[in-house]
Amino acid sequence: MLSGSIQISGETLSSAEVKDICDSLKGNSVRLLSLRGCHLSDRDFSRISRHVAECQSLAQLNLNLGVVNNLNRVKQLAEALQNNRSIHSLFLHGSPLTDSGLAALNPALSLHPSLASLDLGDCMLGDEGMNLICGLLPPDGAKSGLKELTLSANPAVTAKGWARLAIAVAHSSQLRVLNLDYNPLGDHIAGMLAVAVASSRTLEVLDLEGTGLTNQSAQIFLEMVENYPTSMRNLIIAENNISSELQQQISDLLSEGEEEETENEGTEDGGGEKEIWISQGNAGSQTLLVTSGFEDSLLAETEM
Per-residue pLDDT of 263-272, as tens digits, reads 555 544 444 3
- Output the pTM of the full model: 0.85
**So what's the pLDDT on residue 285?**
40
259 pLDDT above the threshold of 70: no
Q: What confidence category does residue 256 fall into, taking pLDDT thresholds of 50, 70 and 90? A: confident
Tell me the mean pLDDT in the region 198-218: 95
Q: pLDDT averaged over the chain?
A: 86
**pLDDT given at position 140:** 61
Contact between 232 and 225 (Cβ < 8 Å): yes
pLDDT tens, residue by residue, 19-58? 999 999 999 999 999 999 999 999 999 999 999 999 999 9
Whether the per-residue pLDDT at 300 is higher than 50: the answer is: no
Domains detected in the chain = 1-117 (3.80.10.10), 125-258 (3.80.10.10)
pLDDT in tens, 153-178: 999 999 999 999 999 999 887 899 99
